Structure 1
Amino acid sequence: MRRLSTCMAFWLALAGTAPAADHRTGRDKVLADAESRLKSIYEKRDFAPTTFPGKWLADSSGYWVLEPSKPGAEPEVVKYDATNGKRSVLIGADQLVVPGSKQRLFVQRCFQTPVEHTFCLEARTGNWLFDSKSGDLQKLPAEVPAGLSAGAFSPRVDRIVVRRGRNLAVVDAATGRVTPLTSDDDRGQLDNYAPTWSPDGRRVAYVQSDSTKVRTRPVLRPTDPTYPEVAHVPFARVGTPIPTLRVGVVDHQGGTTRWVKLPADPGTCYINDISWAGNSTELLIELLSRSRDNRKFLLANVESGEVATAYEETDPAWVDASYSANAGLEWIRDGKEFVLLSERDGWRQAYVLSRDGKQRTLLTKDKSDIIARGPVDEQGGWFYYLASPKNATQRYLYRIRLDGKSDPERVTPADQPGTHSYDFSPDRKWAFHTYSTFDKPPVVDLVRLSGHHSERVLEANEEVRSRATPLITRPTEFLKLDIGNGAVMDAWMIKPRDFDETRKYPVFVFVYGEPHGQTVLDDWAGGQNHSMFHRMIADLGYLVVSMDGRGTPAPKGAAWRRAVYGSLGPLSTEEQAAGVKALGRTRSYVDLSRVGIWGWSGGGSNTLNAMFRKPDVYHVGIAVAPKPRPELYNAWFQEIFMRTPDVNPDGYRKAAAINFAEGLKGDLLIVHGTGETNTHLQITESLVDRLIELGKRFDYMAYPNRDHGLREGKGTAVHLRMLMTRYLIDHLPPGPR
């Protein structure tokens, strides 16, 4: 009765009337307003910022965009001078005419090829090459598919490497002659890897994947619902065989592939990257062990067959955890040295190494992390990178001398807190600079890196700002929560529009809590793009909170990130609950008797763990696309952090939410898509069966044929958020007490 009376009182107050008959009217009005706001977010995309479409010209003199000369006109390729902003036409609409006819090309996509004055134009009539020097327009053969990238073209743009089914071929740009490069239909190309041309254009390197030992799982194809088709898709589950990868090099005219002799047994490694090592005879291969505890950079001579190790490192937990911040290297000094990121000394730092790996210079000596690599300005003697040594929720540009004899310099102005990203010109003198905070949409300007001088604004996103400003009546509050044992969690809190600090509010926690991402970031996309949804929830009368504990990829050192090694779930559950309690201790307006939690994917798993293991802390949970049994998840992700059940059975037992389902006391909603290709539906349905067996009360919503993002189908995004909103209101009544 306490819950019913509280809910009634809230809706009566919201409706501004006393009679009980008006309770439903007030509730329906609030839900109608919520739905309208959700449609604005997810269907009209009113708060999605516009990204700047410009691309740097190879000579750094300016940038080009595909835009019409006037409203309603066909697009043309236009250049803007970097120094003065002068607009000039590179490829005019009058030049985009099929030779020998009056038919105009309607260009849908455009990019610069390896030859800087040649552009590839993707039109409704196929692919075309345009030479901006001569004005020549050349139709590419029909064998060249749509969706090309610059890397598909040979260095002289006379040949294109294409996929034909499960094989590779080269198409002659002038004659259309097709030369098969591979013919093994049982071992197709791995989609993650693009074939790469040697600098002299004579060879193509590629990665081949053999999945014959990988078990397949049946997947229903939504054709005729009475007789759906069944496809069998390879799925490398934890502890089972993974694809066997090998690296091959083949002549552009076809022939026998030369296979690189990798120093690893078949099916025991992953390949992070392949590229030509500054010449046409050596390949650079980044090789990772299956559990990512070993990382090698190999130099493979494709003529002699010799393979040398340029660099190797190991870690008891993992060397690389798919953050992509560590991946790859950059050659400097004519290929004699390279710049590499590594966490070998406890922090993600930059090193310069000799080609043979014997000489190593540490560039960034402070005890702080590089968040992501930037480019090398070899002429100026700088290495650029993103970091934020004092605030893990923000991102700034830094640079440091390549000789390692100076301290880091912050390039981003000190008076611009928040998150910054940069798209550098090829000569490293200019950049498209994007700047946003959690409460302010991104602004893109052109900066001269010398002095970080802003030349002009390229995209202000004024419309997004004007729509968002009336809804952001209170700035998002960023917090630091000391939960003991040396752990201080970053958090943010969104308060209701009519917040009254003398009263107590229910708390709704948004959690992810796994090594794949942070939720507490001070940028417009902070909170994994759920921020405007969370503002709507807050205005209903909730404190919406998110916290990042240990194990999330925050720039707080390797020990912070690796604290979860062995078992994903237990530590996050403890620290999230400790964070909620810390909020209650330090803020009198937090009502610890009314706490809800929700999350997606890994966040869905953490929501289940919270509801099962901490039933006295959390009263309502919404788990979207969770993975309650990690031993049934994919090998590529789970084995990094927990190895396999054979070697770590206790870690898997402690991580699996299903093993603690008997602890459920509160209200739980589980949401899943039946077309899942990531956290498969059957994994969640085994939890559903367990809850039924235990006689637990819960709610379950399955969206037909939707995948992990639950985006498919008209109205799905809004329907899901309305489902969550109704569930929250009905089971965790909003409003202060």
Structure 2
Amino acid sequence: MRLSNMLLAFLLAGTSAVYAQEKEITLEEIWNGTFSQERLESLRSLNNGTEYIVLNQNREQGSTSIDVYDYKSGSKKRSLVDSEKLDDIARFGSYELSDNENKILLGTESEQIFRRSSRGIYYVYDVKSGSLTKVSDKKIQEPTFSPDASKVAFVHENNIFIKDLATGAESQVTADGKKNEIINGITDWVYEEEFGFVRAFQWNATGDHLAYIKFDEINVQEFSMDLYGEELYPGASTFKYPKAGEENAIVSLHLYHLQEGNTTEINLGDYQDFYIPRIKWTNDPEILSVQVMNRHQNNLDLIFVNARTNEARVVLNETDEAYVDITDNLTFLKDNSFIWTSEQDGYNHIYHYNKNGKLLNQITQGDWEVTRYYGFNEGRNTIYYQSTENGSVNRDVYSIRTNGKNKTRLTDREGTNSADFSADFTYFINTFSNTETPAEYTLRDAKNGKVVREIKDNKKLLQKSEAYGFSPKELSTIEINGNELNMWMIKPADFDENKKYPLLMFQYSGPGSQSVSNTYFNSNDYWYQLLANEGYIIATVDGRGTGYKGAAFKKVTQKELGKFELEDQIAAAKKFASYDYIDEDRIGIWGWSYGGFMSTNAILKGNEVFSLAIAVAPVTSWRFYDTIYTERYMTTPQENPSGYDENSPINHVEKLKGDYLLVHGSADDNVHVQNTMRLIEALVQANKQFDWAIYPDKNHGIYGGNTRLHLYTKMTNFIKEKL
């Protein structure tokens, strides 16, 4: 190439680069999916371990199919079911395979109840014959195959039913279910939200016993939300919601014996005011495991119940000065020994106990946390897990023998790695991202982590992003109150260290949470890029009380939610204020939910450093929140009144000096709009001026249609006008 042409090409390239970086992101782009990452469809491994299935929606034809793919090649092999070939179903939204994979439950006409619960019309599809059977003409909850797929158990209007698929006969297991009084086999609101499960019944391995939990919520106080809708008169949603210190539902454990057709209530022991956060059958079809926890949630018993004798014995007890976490990691091996995870040595690790609860071995150990337990490969005597061994902001996948030896790191790139294993643990799909790399999916050999094939990446997203010249998300640490805290910062693309910039801090700060991690942008990060383009610096600091740095760091906030977390955010803001490039008079903070609780406290108790705060769906007094979450960290208001009141923003409204925006959804079943209304009244009576917005009929997520766009437009304008 001639020199003149080379120079011209160079100048054009330089001009293109400058032009490309001048493209500015808009709020519409953030919320219309412009920057959405390509995801790997939700998949499930088939029992053979060499194939997996994916639920595919054909939007053009309005049909749904469950398609089978080969792990190694990625090629489609066949379809298990395609609604286009079914007479009674145009499409379905969910599915569940029987254990033997001969039948499939297909869910249609789904109606959301709360965060995890729904009801719908379900069909059973026979893979071999192609026949379709409706489970019930009524909308039901949590239909579940028996182990041999001959029956389906489900819940309708708080009662449990069993349908025999061969005869079509339907038997009723319970008859006392009644809305807002008795629930059988389905959790109440607070269990669903805080213990994270809905189905409260379990088949044993031979299908002759059905264990279930009953909730007597007659004495639980009702909460009512107005639903404005579009009719002339608004409606209301009324449900039982136990607030901190108030009565919980009374729970009891029952066993229904199919052969005898009768039910036994199990006496678990001398417990009062207790929780049953998990039930799970062991590999012995006559032995049910039950986890029972006291109301303070600092004493957990693992109980084995004999289904024939009804004997209940404690095989493992775990206590903690603060609280014991509930997980789904309990795994029973062939000899009924079991895998258990615990923070008993100060960090979350994996333990192996025999069938009588005697410790055989602590499998993992070190000053790091096991963050996910993936499962156990019986053939190789190997456990698979995810951990923070390479830094609390990173995640890697490992394998290890039950004796704690032969630990192998199965992922090799620094960032956030997760795994989805095939049924026989031959392969796993590795999802990887870091601050510079959107999600990448690879198939790997589970023995050594070697890449078998590339599946999907997001290079197109990276190419699209180049035109905007986004600023990097800089990970680092900051020393605050004697601790090295994780943080990230985003600066304007044209950052000049000789200039002064306003600072907006974001935090969540809830117990065990993490806002600083080595992962790619989420929607808020794109919003921060927009703000950076407007000349703001954005930063997040994970203070004391957040997770993945050991139990002591996480549990220091016990009985004082909002105290140490706030001290760390105020101290961080003061440290940032000392930086030459930060305008100490223009520091704001925002957060959602627990983060809204924190940002509100910050503008009040930290009024000497914060000049602006935005709180979305905040808790304003822990007295308004539910029993399980709140009492886990605070005990009850009767026992700890000062802990509740001294750190509740509703009691510090007279300290408001800066600009404050308060936002809530009127149909928030989680953090009730009561929190915001009570704070508004307190601010009004203190004659404090502030801005606020209520989104009608929106829940805790405040979304739907243009709602998110409207909310973020409001927050953006507020920041630009006030900070």
Which residue of structure 2 aligns with residue 329 of structure 1?
330
Aligned-partner residue type, residue 645 of structure 1? P
Whole-Å separation in 1 of the counterparts to 2:567 and 2:248: 33
**How big is the shift at 1:77?**
4.0
The alpha-carbon deviation at position 52 of structure 1 amounts to 2.6
Match of 1:305 in 2: 310
SS in 2 for 1:257: strand
Does the alignment pair 1:497 with 2:488? Answer: no
Residue in 2 that maps onto 1:479: 476
Offset at 1:345? 1.5
Alpha-carbon contact 2:368-2:392 (below 8 Å) kept = no
Report Cα offsets for 1:528-551 as digits up to 9, x if no partner. Answer: x52222222222111111110110
Matches within 5 A, 1:491-640: 491-515=487-511, 517-524=513-520, 529-553=523-547, 555-585=548-578, 587-640=579-632
Residue 255 of structure 1, CA deviation: 3.6
CA-to-partner distance for each residue in 1:16-63, whole Å, 9 max, x for gaps?
xxxxxxxxxxxxxxxxx98x7222222336424423333211110221
2:266 alignment partner in structure 1: 260
Counterpart in the other structure of 2:214 = 208
Aligned to 2:644: 652
Question: Which one-letter code corresponds to 2:41 in the other structure?
Answer: F
Other structure's SS at 2:532 match: helix
Q: Residue 434 of structure 1 corresponds to which residue in structure 2?
A: 431
d(CA) in 1 for partners of 2:380 and 2:529? 45
User: Per the alignment, do residues 664 and 300 of structure 1 end up closer, same or farther by CA in structure 2, a change over 3 Å counting?
Assistant: same
Find the counterpart in structure 1 of residue 379 from structure 2. Answer: 379
Residue 456 of structure 1, CA deviation? 2.0
Paired residue type of 1:391: G
Aligned ranges for residues 720-735 of structure 1 at < 5 Å?
720-732=711-723
2:604–2:653 CA contact under 8 A, matched in 1: yes
Q: 2:513 and 2:671 mapped to 1: Cα distance?
A: 17
The match for 2:401 is 401
Residues of 2 paired with 1:104 and 1:514: CA distance?
A: 44
Which stretch of the first structure deviates more once superposed, 37-46 or 679-688? 37-46
- Aligned AA (1:297): L
Name the CA shift for 1:461/1:175 in 2 (closer, same or farther; >3 Å). Answer: farther
On the 8 A contact 1:287/1:296 being kept in 2, the answer is yes
Q: Could you list the runs of 5+ residues in structure 2 that have no partner in the other structure?
A: 1-22, 110-120, 188-197
**Residues 482 and 582 of structure 1 are in contact (CA less than 8 Å); yes or no, is this contact kept in structure 2?**
no
Deviation of 1:168 (Å): 0.8
Equivalent residue number for residue 69 of structure 2: 80
- Of 687-696 and 557-566, deviating more is 687-696
Provide the C-alpha distance between the structure 2 equivalents of 1:451 and 1:472, rounded to a whole number of angstroms.
Answer: 38
Is 1:115 paired with 2:100? yes
The Cα shift of 1:638 comes to: 0.8
Q: Which amino acid aligns with 1:343?
A: E
Query: 1:366 aligns to what SS in structure 2?
Result: coil
Report the alpha carbon displacement of residue 572 of structure 1 after superposing the two structures with TM. 0.9
Q: Aligned residue for 1:141?
A: 134
Instruction: Give % identity.
Output: 27
Q: CA deviation at 1:729?
A: 0.5
Pairwise CA distance, 1:354: 1.3
1:71-470 counterparts in 2 under 5 A? Answer: 76-91=65-80, 96-97=85-86, 106=91, 108-122=93-107, 127-131=123-127, 135-143=128-136, 152-186=144-178, 187-189=182-184, 190-191=186-187, 192-223=198-229, 227-252=233-258, 255-266=261-272, 268-320=273-325, 326-335=327-336, 337-404=337-404, 406=405, 408-413=407-412, 416-470=413-467
Shift of 1:120: 3.9
From 678, 700, 706, give the equivalent of 1:708. Answer: 700
Do the aligned partners of residues 627 and 299 (structure 1) sit closer, same or farther apart at CA in structure 2, a change above 3 Å counting?
same
Question: Deviation string for 1:307-338 (max 9, x for gaps)?
Answer: 11111111111112xxx5x4441112421x11
Label 1:162 to 1:605 Cα distance change in 2 as closer, same or farther (>3 A). Answer: same
Change in Cα spacing, 1:67 to 1:703, as seen in structure 2 (3 Å) is closer
Shift of 1:180: 0.5
**Change over 3 Å in CA distance of 1:654–1:205 after alignment to 2:** same
- Cα shift readout 1:430-478 (whole Å, capped 9, x = no counterpart): 1111111234221122111222122222232344334334335322100
Q: Against the structure 1 CA distance between its residues 215 and 128, is the aligned structure 2 distance closer, same or farther, given a 3 Å change threshold?
A: closer
Asked if 1 retains the 8 angstrom alpha-carbon contact of 2:607 and 2:655, the reply is yes
| Structure-2 change in CA distance of 1:375 and 1:719 (3 Å) | same
Matched, 1:56 2:45: yes
1:294 Cα offset (Å) = 0.8
> What is the letter of the counterpart of residue 409 of structure 1?
T
2-side partners of 1:43 and 1:94: how far apart?
29
Name the amino acid aligned to 2:131.
Q
Q: Which amino acid aligns with 1:178?
A: E
After superposition, what is the alpha-carbon deviation per residue over 1:331-356, rounded to whole angstroms, capped at 9, x for unaligned? 12421x11111111111111111111
Distance 1:219 1:409, change over 3 A: same
**What is the letter of the counterpart of residue 72 of structure 2?**
T
Give me the whole-angstrom Cα distance separating, in 2, the residues matched to 1:226 and 1:71: 37
What per-residue deviation string (whole Å, max 9, x for no partner) do you get for residues 485-527 of structure 1?
A: 2x1110111111222222121100011111152111222366x
Secondary structure of residue in 2 paired with 1:532: helix
Distance 2:706 2:57 in 1: 32
Does structure 1 conserve the Cα–Cα contact (< 8 Å) formed by 2:481 and 2:568? no
Q: Is the 8 A contact 1:144 1:160 kept in 2?
A: no
TM-score normalized by structure 2? 0.88
CA contact (8 A) 1:510 1:544 kept: yes
Task: Extract unaligned runs of 5+ from structure 1.
Answer: 1-32, 733-737
CA-to-partner distance for each residue in 1:81-102, whole Å, 9 max, x for gaps? 223444322447699355xxxx
Question: Which residue in the other structure is 2:686 paired with?
Answer: 694
Equivalenced residues, count: 676
Displacement of 1:372 after TM fit?
A: 2.0
After superposition, the C-alpha distances for 1:341-378 in whole angstroms (9 at most, x for unaligned) are: 11111111111111111234111122222112121122
Say which SS state the counterpart of residue 487 (structure 2) adopts: strand
**Could you tell me how far 1:158 is from its partner in structure 2?**
1.4
Cα separation, partners in 2 of 1:261 and 1:540, compared to 1, 3 Å: same
C-alpha spacing 1:504/1:381, structure 2 compared with 1 (3 Å): same
Q: Which amino acid aligns with 2:568?
A: E
Partner of 1:18: none
Evaluate the alpha carbon distance shift between residue 68 and residue 341 of structure 1 in structure 2; reply closer, same or farther with a 3 A threshold.
closer
- Equivalents in 2 of 1:417, 1:129: separation in Å? 44
CA-based RMSD: 2.6
Alignment partners' CA distance in 1, 2:554 and 2:604: 25
Contact 1:128 1:137 in 2 (8 A): no
Q: Tell me which amino acid in the other structure corresponds to 1:457.
A: E
Report the alpha carbon displacement of residue 601 of structure 1 after superposing the two structures with TM.
0.7
TM-score by length of 1: 0.86
Amino acid in structure 2 at the alignment position of 1:259: E
Q: Is the 8 A contact 2:292 2:303 kept in 1?
A: yes
Please tell me whether residue 718 in structure 1 is matched to residue 709 in structure 2. Answer: yes
Contact persistence 1:181–1:254 (CA under 8 A): no
Task: Call closer, same or farther: CA 1:258–1:510 in 2, change over 3 Å.
Answer: same
The 1:679–1:53 alpha-carbon spacing in structure 2 relative to 1, beyond 3 Å, is: closer
